[in-house]
Amino acid sequence: MATPPDFVAGQVLTAAQMNKVGLWLIKTQTIGTGVTTTTVTDAFSADYENYRIIVAGGASSANTGNNNMAVTLGATTTGYYQGAVGYTYANVTATVPVNNGAAWLCGGQTTSGLNMILDLFRPFATDETFMSFSYSVMATTGYGITGAGYLNNTTSYTAFTITSLATTTHTGGTVYVYGYRD
């Protein structure tokens, strides 16, 4: 028998094999038209401790500010921390610190597209949530950045929200939520 993931047609997969699937797609959410926020509910549960969230495609209505977007958990708008460093494409240091802020600033948004890779650790547990992320600002004057941080409370969360910069909205693109097998 072929060794997963090299499956063959008609192969019967055992529970032991399926239980080795490391990353499971929990849900996808298409972003609508001209929305300021996108909330994904029932993303986190007791099924998984840790998650990967990806945003790809779509676009922001305008380029402005740092061309980034925010992520919040539940209705919490305090206690977010992150350290992040990168470079502009012209090789100038770029930092995006959050020190007891209202959100994590962990995604990129321009008229060319939205993008975010965000790993969340234990958002459903009654424990602090650790995060790690990277994004690119898709504009010639943009930057690439990576960072990590945490949310300083022990609240259990099931949902998260992506918020656009003021005066901008998001249209299109997809939010993917994956669970890491425990």
Partner 1 sequence: MADPIIVQIDDVERPATPEELELIQTVQDFMASQPVIGA
Say whether residue 40 binds partner 1 (CB under 8 A).
yes
* Phi, psi values for residue 66, rounded to 5°: -90, 10
Nearer to partner 1 by Cβ, of 134 and 164: the residue is 164
Say whether residue 166 binds partner 1 (CB under 8 A).
yes
Show contacts with partner 1 in window 76-95 (CB under 8 A). Answer: 77, 88, 90, 92, 94-95
The least CB distance from residue 181 to partner 1, in Å, is 24
SS3 letters for 46-59? CCCCEEEEEEEECE
Say whether residue 33 binds partner 1 (CB under 8 A).
yes
The DSSP code sequence of 46-102 is TT-SEEEEEEEE-EES---TT-EEEEEETT--S-EEEEEEEEETTS-EEE--EEEES
With contacts defined by CB under 8 A, name the span among 2-10, 18-26, 125-133, 163-171 that binds partner 1. Answer: 163-171
Here the tokens at position 4 are: 């997963």
Q: Residue 107 carries which side chain, given as an amino acid letter?
A: G
Say whether residue 151 binds partner 1 (CB under 8 A).
no
* Phi, psi values for residue 16, rounded to 5°: -60, -40
Indicate which single residue of 102, 117, 125, 139 sits in contact with partner 1 (rule: CB under 8 A). Answer: 102
Burial class (CB in 10 A: 0-12, 13-18, 19+), 8: exposed
* Phi, psi values for residue 17, rounded to 5°: -70, -45
Q: Residue 108 carries which side chain, given as an amino acid letter?
A: G
Nearer to partner 1 by Cβ, of 107 and 179: the residue is 107
Show contacts with partner 1 in window 43-82 (CB under 8 A). Answer: 65-66, 68, 70, 72, 75, 77
Indicate which single residue of 111, 141, 152, 154 sits in contact with partner 1 (rule: CB under 8 A). Answer: 141
Site of interaction with partner 1 (CB under 8 A): 29-41, 65-66, 68, 70, 72, 75, 77, 88, 90, 92, 94-96, 101-103, 105, 141, 143, 163-166, 169
